[in-house]
Amino acid sequence: MVDVHCHLNFKAFENDYDEVIKRAVEAGVDTIINVGTKLDTSQRAVEMASQYDNLYAIVGVHPHHADKVTLEKSHPEQSEGSLDDWMKQLKQIAKSSTKVVAIGEIGMDNYRYQSNGITDPKAQRELFERQIELAYKLKLPLQIHNRHAGKEILEVLNAHKNLLMNIPGMFHCFSGNLAFLKRVLDLGFYVGFDGNITYKGLAPGEDTSLPDLVKATPIDKIVIETDSPYLTPEPHRGSRNEPSYAIIISRVIAQIKGIPFEEVVSQTNKNTHTIFRLNS
Ligand SMILES: [Zn+2]
Ligand SMILES: [Zn+2]
């Protein structure tokens, strides 16, 4: 099984990522895709992928950082770079390894987080568009982050349809309503679900439950992800999430859909290999 979206490249795992990876493999999660949210974490995802056969990287800049394009940690004196600089560096990182399998997590986010507020929508859109162009040049699929910005994201994707690959990629940590789900599937995207499908009730601002979205998404369009260290599934909620819990998410999807766990595993694996070029 593959965890198609997590962040072992983040500080939360710096002391024990090796054990976390071993635990995942023992649990049956044999392949892990780490995702960058800035240049430094993208670079780190690539480094980790070079150290482990079963790790891959997705590189990109999250919409939260659209207004503060940061350079690598090694150049703190230049922490603000132009978008051009910044796309140049991202391209270098993306081209530096064949284990970079997509551009992400990219997209738009209109949710007001306590720590972040809402990032300038114009900057978000420009950053998103530039990264779609980069993915097109490198022939890589997209891994999209959306929170309360489905309308804007669909606008951007529809305006850039000619830059999307045959299999355009996936929306990670899916949320929204059934009409939005349909438009996403119609564009050819796959859909990732996380541990928050085990949470009771609706997330703030949502009107369709995640189990209802799981039910409405055909199994041949679903991929499994943890978004570790975030979104820990029940009954571990409150502690750090880790890729081994992808098994729990698959079990819950099997329950919701009323199909065998083994079918969820084999079909989502197949889907993952359709989207991404993985060796394992
Ligand atoms: Zn995200
Ligand atoms: Zn993430």
Domain CATH code at residue 145: 3.20.20.140
The confidence score (pLDDT) of residue 189 equals 98
Phi, psi of 140 (to 5 degrees): -115, 145
201: in domain:
yes
pTM of the predicted model as reported, rounded to 2 decimal places:
0.94
Q: Read off the pLDDT of each residue in 264-279 and give the average, rounded to a whole number.
A: 97
**CA 106 – CA 61 distance, rounded (Å):** 6
Report CA(106)–ligand 2 centroid distance (Å).
Answer: 10
Report CA(172)–ligand 1 centroid distance (Å).
Answer: 6
The size of the chain, in residues, is: 280
Report CA(211)–ligand 1 centroid distance (Å).
Answer: 19
The confidence score (pLDDT) of residue 77 equals 55
β-partners of residue 210 are: none
Q: Read off the pLDDT of each residue in 256-274 and give the average, rounded to a whole number.
A: 98
103: in domain:
yes
**CA 159 – CA 133 distance, rounded (Å):** 12
C-alpha distance across the termini of the chain, in Å: 10
Task: Give the distance from CA 176 to its chain's centroid.
Answer: 16
**CA 43 – CA 264 distance, rounded (Å):** 32
Strands of 55-59's sheet, edge to edge?
A: 2-6, 31-35, 55-59, 100-109, 142-147, 169-172, 190-193, 222-224
Amino acid at 235: P
Q: Which residue has the tokens 């990629």?
A: 169
- Nearest ligand to the CA of 146 is 1
Give the long-range contacts of residues 116-119, CB within 8 A, separation 24 or more: 116/64, 119/63, 119/64, 119/65, 119/66, 119/67
Q: Which residue has the tokens 């940590």?
A: 173
| Domain limits for position 76 | 2-275
**CA 189 – CA 141 distance, rounded (Å):** 10
Amino acid at 258: G
Question: Ligand 1 is a single-atom ion; what residues have CB below 5 A from it?
Answer: 105, 145
CA-based radius of gyration for the chain: 17
Report CA(113)–ligand 2 centroid distance (Å).
Answer: 15
Asked if 140 contacts 94 with a C-beta cutoff of 8 angstroms, the reply is: yes
Phi, psi of 43 (to 5 degrees): -60, -40
Report CA(212)–ligand 2 centroid distance (Å).
Answer: 22
252: in domain:
yes
Report CA(110)–ligand 1 centroid distance (Å).
Answer: 12
In the predicted structure, residue 80 carries a pLDDT above the cut 60: no
The confidence score (pLDDT) of residue 71 equals 43
In the predicted structure, residue 204 carries a pLDDT above the cut 60: yes
Cβ neighbours of 67 (radius 10 Å): 13
- Number of structural domains found in the chain: 1
The confidence score (pLDDT) of residue 73 equals 45
Report CA(171)–ligand 1 centroid distance (Å).
Answer: 9
204: in domain:
yes
Q: pLDDT, tens digit, for every residue of 9-47?
A: 999 999 999 999 999 999 999 999 999 999 999 999 999
Three-state secondary-structure class, residue 199: coil
Q: pLDDT, tens digit, for every residue of 129-164?
A: 999 999 999 999 999 999 999 999 999 999 999 999
- Nearest ligand to the CA of 171 is 1
**CA 173 – CA 5 distance, rounded (Å):** 9
280: in domain:
no
In the predicted structure, residue 179 carries a pLDDT above the cut 90: yes
Asked if 69 contacts 113 with a C-beta cutoff of 8 angstroms, the reply is: no
